[in-house]
Structure 1
Amino acid sequence: NGICLSFLGALIVHLVFILLTTIVFRDREDSRNRVLRFAAVFGNCGFMSLPIQQAVLSADGVLFGASFVAMFNLFSWTWGITEMSGDKKNISLKKVLINPGVTSLIIGLLIFVFSVPIPKVVSLPVEYFAALNTPLPMIIIGYHLSKSKLLKSVTDIGCVLCSVCRLLIFPALALAAVYLLGFRGNLFVSLTISSCSPVAAYTTIFAYKFDKDTELSVNAVSLSTLLSLATMPVLITVAKLIA
């Protein structure tokens, strides 16, 4: 039941974000706005959120977080790729259904539901890889920060607006929606952690792939990541108080 609700919550959050970003960044033909819309919708719910969910909520948080990542993959390979490229022909059903995020989640759910015993020779390496869940993302995030031009990102109104929407406005409205629908407890806190994460590094990858403004995408990732150091603890604390 909790897993199904986590998928539903992630679905609602993404739909609310997409609705809001089309209102804030209205000019659909503006190449910059395509990057900003993508950046405002898709957060770093994997590298940034999962380690926090593991620390705050333990196994439940990771499981709920993985559901959010799966929904992230679904939307990024459908709405996201269409938005960034401007062409619906770029949607690939194979990439939507067969990618590391969705595949690993399905395998994990099957093991969990059917209580499949895992031999030590398999579980031990998995535990070692799990231990990298925090330091590895920090290295990747640090790399992106080193490539950014922070002064330019701070003076770019679009970049600043995108970061504020991504970190505060959109999460607050989306989480208000799921809260009114009755989401509570660890699930609500997990949704909060995923929803208020900074701009996903995927934004730069997609911008490069479809010949959009990669510098803007890097600046959005970097600025939002720095600001999230202040915004995420506040939103997570509020979520824990009201959950």
Structure 2
Amino acid sequence: MAYFGHILLNNVIPLSIMIAIGALLYRLFQLDIKTLSKLNFYLFSPAVMLKMLYESTISFVVLGQVLLYFAVYFALLCLIVEVVMRLRRYKAGMRSSMRNSVIFYNSANYAIPLNQLVFVGDPFTLSVQIIIMMMQSLIPNTYGIYSVNAGKMDAKKLWRTILSMPVIYVIPLAFALRGFEVTIPPAIYTPINYVANAFIATALLTLGVQLGSMAWKLKLSDVLVSNVLRLLVGPALGFGVVLLFGFTGPLAQALVLSCAVPTSLSSVLLAVEFDNEPEFASQAVFSSTIFSIFTVTFVIYAVQVLLP
């Protein structure tokens, strides 16, 4: 019950307030969703990724274990989603939006505070979550863009769009700067900090603006399918993969917890930026965030009991 209350008060309610502010601002001023989307893709997201990777302390052993886990988990999750989508006979646009709502999860502004709450600021489990966050930032900016635009753009334009994403270059740059112990001058790092600190607020306001601009034609069955796959099947699969590799202790717990979080804002940003089922994507993010207070609490209990 303590976890339930903490998640509600420190994760869900603050997120909901920011989303509500975004919706209200749209109603008052008709904010341009496309401009907000571009700010997230090309400015705020790269800045927060550079800052977190540059400041982290990740060992190569942990990096290898987490990347192995993520590769297997991600492939199996994609396979499960593909089977469900074929059974439900979704069309191309809905297929990519449904897939993105399940395989892209909130590994930054939800999972990192949650990780620090559950593991009491443990730097090891934080490094595990940062690696997951890195992959969950890289893939939407590459595969995510490809899946949304395949069939809409010619190959040349599609690759030009993918290669224009700053996150692709920020990740190796951050590792290089940290590996060679390069000190970023304060005149440069201070603006990076300013922009990175604005990422969460801007992303949540963008979601609120999208929700506020919708006609709210509810897609309850589709949203429910997305929520079940993300919040129930996702962590259950995570348990299976850590048991497959024989991971135990804090590593196993952090990995399972990392995949129990709700749908990522990146799925909404992709849907809005490339006009691909934005209403469904927004509803999936909002509802999964609300339902996660119950499912994540259960996962926290389960990992502590089953993965000591």
1:107 aligns with 2:174: yes
Maintained 8 Å contact 2:238/2:255:
no
Q: What is residue 181 of structure 1 aligned with on the other side?
A: 245
1:191 maps to amino acid: L
Q: What is residue 41 of structure 1 aligned with on the other side?
A: 103
Residues 134-213 of structure 1 mapped to structure 2, 5 A cutoff: 137=200, 140-141=203-204, 144=207, 148=211, 156-213=220-277
Paired residues, what number? 237
2:118 maps to amino acid: V
SS in structure 2 at match of 1:212: coil
Residues 62-141 of structure 1 mapped to structure 2, 5 A cutoff: 62-87=126-151, 89=155, 92=159, 99-100=166-167, 103=170, 107=174, 111=178, 116=181, 137=200, 140-141=203-204
Q: TM-score, normalized by length of structure 1? A: 0.78
Maintained 8 Å contact 1:16/1:174:
no
Q: Give the C-alpha shift of residue 63 in structure 1.
A: 1.2
* C-alpha spacing 1:47/1:95, structure 2 compared with 1 (3 Å): farther
SS in structure 2 at match of 1:211: coil
1:56 aligns with 2:118: yes
2:110 maps to amino acid: M
Q: What is residue 23 of structure 2 aligned with on the other side?
A: none
User: Of the candidates 45, 48, 70, which is equivalent to residue 10 of structure 1?
Assistant: 70
2:249 maps to amino acid: G
Q: Give the C-alpha shift of residue 220 in structure 1.
A: 0.6
Q: What is residue 231 of structure 1 aligned with on the other side?
A: 295
Q: TM-score, normalized by length of structure 2? A: 0.63
Q: Give the C-alpha shift of residue 221 in structure 1.
A: 0.6
**Aligned residues: CA RMSD:** 3.7
Q: Give the C-alpha shift of residue 237 in structure 1.
A: 2.1
Residue deviations 1:38-72, cap 9 Å, x none?
11111011111112123333222221112112222
Q: What is residue 221 of structure 1 aligned with on the other side?
A: 285
Q: Distance in 2 between matches of 1:39 and 1:73?
A: 14
* C-alpha spacing 1:104/1:31, structure 2 compared with 1 (3 Å): closer
1:144 maps to amino acid: L
Q: Give the C-alpha shift of residue 86 in structure 1.
A: 2.2
* C-alpha spacing 1:227/1:92, structure 2 compared with 1 (3 Å): same
Q: Distance in 2 between matches of 1:41 and 1:162?
A: 10
Unaligned runs of 5+ in 1: none
